Amino acid sequence: MSTVLDPLVIGLLLAAGLMHASWNAILKSDATDRVTTFGVIMLSGAVIGGLMAPFLPWVAAPAWKWMAASTAIHIFYYFFLLQAYAHGDLSHTYPIARGMGPLLVALFSGRLLGETLRAQDVAGVVLLSIGLIALAMPSRRMPHVPATPDAVRRHRLATLFALLTGLTIAGYIVVDGLGVRAAGPTLEHKVAYIAWLNVIEGPWLFLFALARRRASLVAYLQRGWWRGAAGGAIAALGYGIAIWALSQGPMAHVAALRETSVLFGALMGTFLLREPFGARRVVAAAVIVCGLILMNGPPLF
């Protein structure tokens, strides 16, 4: 396996990062009941996977244990992500969770899986993670939240849940990387792994919403089910690209490129929401680009 990613894989991963930022924007924009919105998003991915699976080859037996492990990790991911959004701002929690993922994947893939990373790969991962975190940090010009005991508690909980979210992100990336590599030799086998993963992990949040938030779920389906369905299609395609890419090169490279979703999120905020980009975010974006060049460029040292 090559130590750098093919330009086509890089381009597809950047598109996957854009998709990830897009469906998270759909989720975050619904302040009424994010559990319901998230459930519809995930169920949509399960429906898509179920429609694809009958036309694909059967996934090799060794891959199913990784699929089961990924499903379990994703359930914790859903819980931690929703708790992070409930206790803190997107600008605080999202970059922590997404920025620490590449660092953890680099550590796990190098030490546990035997993937060899160059010194410049490690430097690139560090630069990318720093840039992603700095990119979405609140501006210093924003008014400070009063340091009341409740505000301090919420900030600490938001940080804790963001860190736990980042841990689950690293976990499911490594597990799905192992799973898609064990799924079979052809592209069709890898697509089958992606389809079945969506089928198995997709319904759980929707079933939870159906059991605990039935009225909210019915109201959501009546007023705007198409937004969740669109988010689910985007999420399924984006993560499907990421899983396939895990079979094409080092996991640390794939994880780092996928987390450029934070960069796309900042650009969406700038051009769609008219949020100021600021000099600090320009520098952070430049740091991200430097990290990507280090990780996917020719040997420098």
Spatial neighbors of 136 by CB under 8 A, at least 6 apart, are 90, 91, 94, 95, 262, 265, 266
pLDDT at 266: 64
Confidence bin at 279 (pLDDT 50/70/90): low
pLDDT at 213: 87
pLDDT at 104: 80
More confident residue, 53 or 112: 53
What confidence tens digit (pLDDT) does each residue in 65-110 have?
Answer: 999 999 999 999 989 988 987 887 766 677 777 777 777 887 777 6
Confidence bin at 52 (pLDDT 50/70/90): very high
Complete DSSP assignment for the chain: --SS--HHHHHHHHHHHHHHHHHHHHHHH--S-HHHHHHHHHHHHHHHHHHHGGGSPPPPHHHHHHHHHHHHHHHHHHHHHHHHHHHS-HHHHHHHHHHHHHHHHHHHHHHTS-----HHHHHHHHHHHHHHHHHTSPPTTSPPPP--HHHHHHHHHHHHHHHHHHHHHHHHHHHHHHHHHHS-SSHHHHHHHHHHHHHHHSSHHHHHHHHH-HHHHHHHHHHHHHHHHHHHHHHHHHHHHHHHHHTTS-HHHHHHHHTTHHHHHHHHHHHTS----HHHHHHHHHHHHHHHHHHHS----
pLDDT at 118: 78
Average pLDDT of the chain to the nearest whole number: 82
More confident residue, 11 or 132: 11
Confidence bin at 142 (pLDDT 50/70/90): very low
pLDDT at 111: 65
What confidence tens digit (pLDDT) does each residue in 182-200 have?
Answer: 999 999 999 999 999 999 9
More confident residue, 150 or 271: 150
Res 179 pLDDT > 90: yes
Instruction: Tell me the whole-structure pTM to 2 decimals.
Output: 0.82
Res 146 pLDDT > 60: no
CB 266 within 8 A of CB 281: yes
- How far is it, in rounded angstroms, from Cα 12 to Cα 28? 24
Mean predicted confidence (pLDDT) in 261-290: 67
